[in-house]
Structure 1
Amino acid sequence: MGVKLAMDTYWNHNTAFHDELITDAKLRGGRVLDIGCGDGLLLQRLAPFVQQVIGIDPDNTAIELAQTRLAAIENVVLMNGDFLALSAPYQEERYATVICVATLHHMDLRSALQQMRQVLAPGGRLLIIGLADDKSLMDLVVSGLVLLPIRIMDRFHGGASNPNVRITAPKETIKEIRQVAQEILPGARVRRRFYFRYSLSWDKPLE
């Protein structure tokens, strides 16, 4: 039953952003790294449009599901491990697009952004869809205002499906994320998004 579920497509607050991530990555083609690839749904959808897709995830079960989903796709590489503990030669590899969906809050923010910058090719783009903590009154007000519209959209899509994934509460607010991002990724654009998410995009300068 678990394998069947892995082969299906589904909708949730993360996959809601897949179309825009795929559209963006198609502009550059090349090699794409998906950090926290889970069961490989985004890799599956990206594969026809780029040279190669590489997924990394520390969860053994997620990688097994991804292997089942992607078994017939040739331009896919899967790695079972911690992105922050990448060993050579993977540390030296470079990617035209680096994508991270609902995974950054599982890692140390500063270390993860530094590593993402390192593996991104000059002229490449980093695309993050993340979760932030609500600490300030403004954070709580914004989240409260979108709660009803999000519930309506969930019902419209037949409910949000959540495969078996590790759940970790975000630690940093969107303001704190912006501050760290500007230190490590000057010019990065961080925006509040629907479904209690934010997006971060950054283009690495040509060297």
Structure 2
Amino acid sequence: METYWNHNTAFHNELVESVKMRGGRVLDIGCGDGLLLQRIAPFAQRVVGIDPDSEAIKRAQTRLAGVSNVSPVSDDFLAMPVPSQEDRYSTIICVATLHHMELRSALSNMDHFLAPGGRLLVVGLAADKSMMDKVISGLLVLPIRLMDLLHGGMQDPAVRIAEPKESLSEIRQAASEVLPGAKVRRRFYFRYVMIWDKPRVEQAIQL
């Protein structure tokens, strides 16, 4: 299967670089057709991709046929049992998927799945609710269209679409409550990036 470019894959390189730093076990929530799984696989011990769309998982399985350390699974992340300590993940990635789930429940579950010392990386979409949100998005329209042209246009596989419900300020508030210390920054391509490093056991004891 071929690679492609869109507003989500534009972040793949930095996600892969982050995985390289830790290796270990990686979980991709909302893995779609498995392009990011394919790119991560050479740098991780084990990669699990989950997506509730069974057709997307079939495409991921086709893309990753013969890649022994990757498992694409059709499942609902919020319904999955919390793994044992030894099976938790060094890195959890969630690209354009968080807005499909109940925000606080999803963040809490990500905490439970992440190993101490691990990193959560979310590339997400936020709703434009404030005047500032709308002004910033409006100013980005033309430069983003120009970048789309430079990359040969948007190429999106068949994926489920949902409009984001929470604004960036609401996402920041939820993150601060559920994942203290999480950093949420507005980024290009109408996206934000959330980064949270889970405290190690020793640090957690001291808090």
Shorter-chain TM-score bucket reads over 0.9
Give the letter for the 1:156 counterpart: L
> Shift in Å at residue 145 of structure 1?
0.6
Question: Matched residues in 1 for 2:175 and 2:54: separation?
Answer: 30
Q: How does 1:102-121 map to 2 (within 5 A)?
A: 102-121=96-115
Between 61-70 and 86-95, report the one with greater CA deviation. Answer: 86-95
Secondary structure (helix, strand or coil) at the match of 1:54 reads strand
Cα 1:141/1:80, change in 2 over 3 Å: same
Per-residue Cα deviation, 1:94-132 (whole angstroms, up to 9, x for no partner) = 000000000000000000000000000000000000000
Give the letter for the 1:25 counterpart: V
> 124, 140, 143: which one pairs with 1:146?
140
Question: Matched residues in 2 for 1:115 and 1:93: separation?
Answer: 14
> 130, 155, 159: which one pairs with 1:136?
130
List gaps (5 residues or longer) in structure 1.
1-6
Question: Matched residues in 1 for 2:50 and 2:185: separation?
Answer: 25
The list of structure 1 runs, each at least 4 consecutive aligned residues, that deviate by more than 6 angstroms after superposition, is: none
Aligned: 1:42 with 2:36: yes
Cα 1:29/1:180, change in 2 over 3 Å: same
The alignment yields a C-alpha RMSD, in angstroms, of: 1.2
Q: 1:28 is matched with which residue?
A: 22
Q: 1:198 is matched with which residue?
A: 192
> Shift in Å at residue 79 of structure 1?
1.3
Question: Matched residues in 2 for 1:90 and 1:203: separation?
Answer: 19
Q: 2:172 is matched with which residue?
A: 178
Give the letter for the 2:29 counterpart: I
> 48, 55, 64: which one pairs with 2:58?
64
Give the letter for the 1:100 counterpart: C
Secondary structure (helix, strand or coil) at the match of 1:168 reads coil
Question: Matched residues in 2 for 1:109 and 1:50: separation?
Answer: 27
Q: Provide TM-score, normalisation by structure 2.
A: 0.95
Say if 1:92 and 1:119, in contact at 8 Å, map to a contact too: no
> Shift in Å at residue 93 of structure 1?
3.2
> Shift in Å at residue 87 of structure 1?
3.1
Question: Matched residues in 2 for 1:78 and 1:17: separation?
Answer: 20
Secondary structure (helix, strand or coil) at the match of 1:128 reads strand
Aligned: 1:125 with 2:119: yes
Aligned: 1:96 with 2:90: yes
Cα 1:28/1:198, change in 2 over 3 Å: same
Q: 1:11 is matched with which residue?
A: 5
Q: Provide TM-score, normalisation by structure 1.
A: 0.95
Q: 2:79 is matched with which residue?
A: 85
Q: How many residues are matched?
A: 201
